[in-house]
Chain A
Amino acid sequence: MKGRDLGELALRNLREAFLRNSLTTLGIAVGVASLIAMVSLGVGLQDFANDRLARSGLFDAIFVTPQSSAANFRGAQGPVFAPVQPAKPLDEDARQKMAALPNVVEVYPDIRFPTEIHFNGNPFATMAAGVAPAARKDGAFDGMKGSFFSGPDADEAILQIDLARQLSDQPDSLIGKSVVLRYAERQPLAPDGAGGAPDGFSIVPKEKSLRIVGIVETEPAGGIGSLGRGRLLIPLQLAEALRTTQANDLRDLLRGNPNQRSYESLTVRVNDPPKVKEVEDAIKDMGFTAFSLIDASKSLSIVFTVFDLFLGIFGSLALVVASLGIVNTLVMAILERRREIGIFKALGASDRDIRRLFFVEAGTMGLLGGVLGLFIGRLIGLAINFGTNFYLKRRSLPEISVTAVHWWMVVLAILFSILISLAAGIYPASRAAALDPVEALRYE
């Protein structure tokens, strides 16, 4: 029998026992819904964790420092007291070269400096830090009060809530007000009388008025190698323009090159975490120390894969139970349609035709149940999201999505549903195909 005719006859048969077949299909749908809800929860949590980690700047970033002299300390593999070679300076030239590497989005220094801010005539000591524009998507800025910086070099500041509370009992009222930032600026010395380069620099106290534009709950992560950025955040370009003294300024001075400013560390942000290794190797080849947390990301992926697998197994149990419903429905159909099967055989249907007809009926129930189950599963996922966000909202936390349905889940769930249904149809289909036509025709 041709496929189209099989399909038409199968649909006709399914319509005949509409209630029973609908209930069986609903059973499959519940099984698929359970599977989808479980797996979408696992995948959603994985996506959530990956997103948070990606936004933390830890997994698409490479932390670069000048090569330490300790690199020459090779123990048994080489000379212990080899002559110390001067490390290649991590300067503006190196920064430009790194920025030109393929897949690199941006390269920025970690600028942090102690400061004293004045607000309403009172001084407050704190730590200030430059924030790169890409940090806008950091989780720390989710749900922030006010807004992010209006430009990369705007005279604006974002306060961490603890600092804001020190400044005012009503932190929210600080937005729009100004604070005065006092800092130590590194200034080059004038050339000496002989026209030679100066052999030092001066440090001058300076002030800058900043408008408070936002308040964040948590201190944004400072990237690999630093504990945090600071409690007063300013645009990175502004922080660079302030030329504040940094910890490595003394090192520049001691190396006799005080006017060639270098960075203590640079953060290289890559457009895609899988590209991190490639960029990291290129930076190492340039003569710098570089490391990333990409391996930790892989471990996390393995953990979630195992987690998803177990959720999938538990979710599948309902589908397996539902498949027993298909066996029951089709066995009942054989009893009811015994004579009909005899007539089919008398008119020329082969055992294969009868088997295929029952398979198509089972597969159709699987397909319909799979599609319906997807919708129900998605609704369950949305309900989980709704409940989670309701809880988070009550605790004044930003909304998140803990369930996710990817296209591959849709395809796999429907295929799995059809396969389970076909497997459930093997016994009834074989039994129907094996019916003796003479006996079947006698059946009343």
Chain B
Amino acid sequence: MQPLLSAKDLHVRYGAVEAVRGVSFELQQGEIVALLGANGAGKSSIMNAITGLVPTASGQVMFDGKDITGSAPESLAPAGLTLSPEGRRVFGTLSVADNLRMGAFALTDKDAISAAWDRVYDLFPILRERKDQYAGTLSGGQQQMLAVGRALMSNPRVLLLDEPSLGLAPLIVDQIFDLILKLRDQGVTLLIVEQNVAKTLQVADRAYVLVSGEVVEQGKPSQLSESGTMQDAYLGAN
């Protein structure tokens, strides 16, 4: 079956530094796929290159059968692909409701927009309660929910989640992982970058392990956990 999202021999460079060196991966419809690796392994660079936030040096990204390599970021949300970025990056000077409204910017159909509001408020009742509050005044966990909610407002078929549980209290972390499974049940295909490896491997269907911008291992969580590569990837041994 043709993958919904795939990258082939992807390279990302920042000046002389090559952050991503020939990474290839694919996501099938309905999968949860994780990118794992230590800080600086190139995970976020891959996410940002897919969404056009950083330029792709070479390689190819395909989404839904179309070449989206180097597309402008604004063209992806209407096509059904979006990112909940690392560090949340909610619009702090906008109200919670306006953040969500911006998330739905790409939607034009009125029914689809109102369905998106219902879905996000059902998933995160706290956002409904806080809808008139400035996003900058929310707690970290609430801001993370807002970041994910804002991404969901565009009704994505593929959602990229960059470090969704970073800096959150353990209880909230559990909620985030429950949410990931819930989204999959709703038909969203997910690509996740996470530092919480144990939890990620519990929810992921497959994972790619990155070291210094290269994929060193891939497979189902059960296969990865048995091999020693995972520890090496995080501890930096070669």
The finding on whether chains A and B are genuine partners in a shared complex, rather than unrelated, reads no
Residue numbers of B with Cβ under 8 A of A are none
Residue numbers of A with Cβ under 8 A of B are none
